[in-house]
Every structure is written in C-alpha cells, then in structure tokens.
Amino acid sequence: MRHLDDIAAPGTIERELLNELDLDHLPRHVAIIMDGNGRWAKARNLPRVEGHRAGMRAVRTTVEAAAQVGIEVLTLYAFSTENWKRPPAEVRTLMTLLKEYVRRELDTFVRNNLRLRPIGRLEQLDRSVQKALREAVAATADCTGPIVQVALNYSGRQELTDLLKAAVEAAAAGQLDAGLIDEAWVDSHLLTRGLPEPDLMIRTSGEQRISNFLLWQLAYAEIYFTPVQWPDFDKAELLRSLLEFQRRERRFGGLSPTPAGVRVPDGGGSGDA
C-alpha cells in the first residue's frame, strides 16, 4: 500500500499533481530518452560535461520518484551506439559518470529493493564500466522491486539485427523451425525479454524522434514529448507525464478505447493505433 505522504509532502506541487493521478492505472513500464544535457549547460555558459553531471542528478531523482509512485520498470537511454561519434573526452565523461552513479547508488538500490539491468552491447564498453555494472547487477540480483533498465551502447536496429542473425544460425543448425517464430518468440529473444513492453515513452528537450530506441517494444507505447531539458526533469515532471498518459485513450489497433494503464493481452493486434 503506497501512502501519498511517502511520495510527496502535503502542500507541494508534487502533491497536487499526485492527487490528480490514479495510482491504480499507472504505466507498468516507462522508457525515457534523456535529452538536452548539452543545451542545458550551454544556456548556463557551462561546459557540456556539467550538463551530463546535472543529468546524472536527474537520473537519481527520477529513479527514486518512479519507484515511489509504483512504476515496475524504468528504462533509461543512457548511451546509444551513435554516441561514440561524440568527442572522446565527452564519451569518457559519460562513462565516468555512469560508473560513479552505479557505485554511489548501489546502497540506495539495495535499500529500496531496486534491480539494475543494463542492456546493449556491454562487451564493447570500457572494462572498468563493465566491472562496475557486473558488481551492481550481482548486488541487486535478489531485489524484487522495480527494475531500472539502463540502455548502454544500445541500438534498436542492432538488437533486431542480432536477433535475426541468431535465428538464422539456429535454423541452419537445425535447432529452430520457422513455424515457431511468432511475436511472442521475438519478445522472448529481445534484450528486454521477460519485461512488460513500455506503456509510456518520454523524450525530453523538445526533440520529437525515437532515435533507434526500443524499436520493437515501443509499438504501442504512448509517446510524451516535453520541452524540459533532461537536467530539469524531476518528480513533478514525471507526475505530469503520468497524468498525460492517463488522459490518453489506448486502442491497440481496435475500435473501443482502452483507458490508459489498462493492459490488453497478446500484443493487441495490428492496424491504426
């Protein structure tokens, strides 16, 4: 049972937003493209790295807020395969911040029963980053609460290409029959296997693109674009996005509206969403 006072103190803007929210119809899985760190820094005449540092603080706030509200899975797009094109110093900073976050927040994760699940081509990351991730994954493996999935060196197209390649190889080795492949099979071979698909995808900074993020999994997600730069994203912004989610009607390709937050089994079919 969630107590409102544990989520937001009375008299605050967060509490006002929370009072409007139906806690029984929340998205189970929220995915976020955290964008705008650079512009946030530029607007303050700060180096870009300060934007990323502030972005890390927003990660901490958002993870805590999502868990308090009762989101089961939070997926954060922290580093895409395209991000290697950035100057090496910026890439190094992002990796250092990631290690810092993982190490510093480990106690909080364990105390709050949060499980860390990194996805992406982790083997291409710096060894020290891999080590920090491995340790955090091991330390939170028995946590049964919300899952914090961090997409790192991740690409949606790569994920689907890898899956296709593995399927063809398995078929060639006589271990897979094409007749067995259906949407459920694909789901169970994605990096996100075992998790509900995202109900809500948030992108900050006013950009309105999916940018190679969870291409299969976002098929029926509600998409919420906010002009807020990622470092300014906080509990109030998360609550606003959840309220917007609840205002949407989800049809999953059918005709009758499904109130947001109500899941339709078996992927919901095809057609206009």
CA–CA gap between residue 17 and residue 246 (Å, rounded): 12
Q: How far apart are CA 96 and CA 101, in angstroms?
A: 9
Min dist. Cβ of residue 131 to ligand FPP (A):
16
CB 65 within 8 A of CB 233: no
Sign of the torsion angle spanned by Cα atoms 204, 210, 215, 217? positive
Q: Does 35 bind ligand FPP (CB under 6 A)?
A: yes
Considering the complex, state which of residue 43 and residue 166 has its C-beta at the smaller distance from ligand FPP: 43
Give the residue, chosen from 27, 36, 120, 268, that forms a contact with ligand FPP under the rule CB under 6 A.
36
Pairing of β 147-154 and β 222-225: unpaired
Buried b or exposed e, range 102-137, using 16+ CB within 10 angstroms: beebbeebbebebbbbbbbebeebeeebbebbeebe
What is the C-alpha to C-alpha distance for residues 175 and 152, in angstroms, rounded to an integer?
30
Stretch that binds ligand FPP, among 13-21, 92-100, 159-167, 258-266 (CB under 6 A): 92-100
Between 36 and 268, CB nearer to ligand FPP: 36
By CB under 6 A, name the one of 21, 34, 74, 239 that touches ligand FPP: 34
CB closer to ligand FPP out of 101 and 154: 101
Q: Which stretch, 4-12, 96-104, 153-161, 240-248, contacts ligand FPP (CB under 6 A)?
A: 96-104
Decide whether 55 or 268 has the Cβ nearer to ligand FPP. 55
* Of residues 102 and 218, the one with the C-beta less far from ligand FPP: 102
State the amino acid at position 33 in one-letter form.
I
- Least separation in angstroms between residue 97's CB and ligand FPP is 4
**Binding to ligand FPP (CB under 6 A): which residues in 209-248?**
230
In the shown chain, the binding pattern of residues 50 to 89 toward ligand FPP, with x for contact by CB under 6 A and - for none, equals --x--xx--x----------------x-x----x------
* Residue 155 Cβ vs ligand FPP, minimum distance, rounded to whole Å: 13
Q: Applying CB under 6 A, which of residues 8, 31, 98, 242 lies at the interface with ligand FPP?
A: 98
Sheet hosting strand 29-33, strand order edge to edge = 115-119, 147-154, 73-80, 29-33, 200-203, 222-225
83 catalytically annotated:
yes
- The piece of 48-56, 65-73, 113-121, 192-200 that touches ligand FPP (CB under 6 A) is 48-56
Site for ligand FPP in 108-167 (CB under 6 A): 150
Q: Please, which residues bridge with residue 216 across strands?
A: none
Q: For ligand FPP, give the closer residue by CB, 48 or 250.
A: 48
User: Which residues contact ligand FPP by CB under 6 A?
Assistant: 34-39, 52, 55-56, 59, 76, 78, 83, 94, 97-98, 101, 150, 205, 230
Q: Tell me the catalytic residues.
A: 35, 83
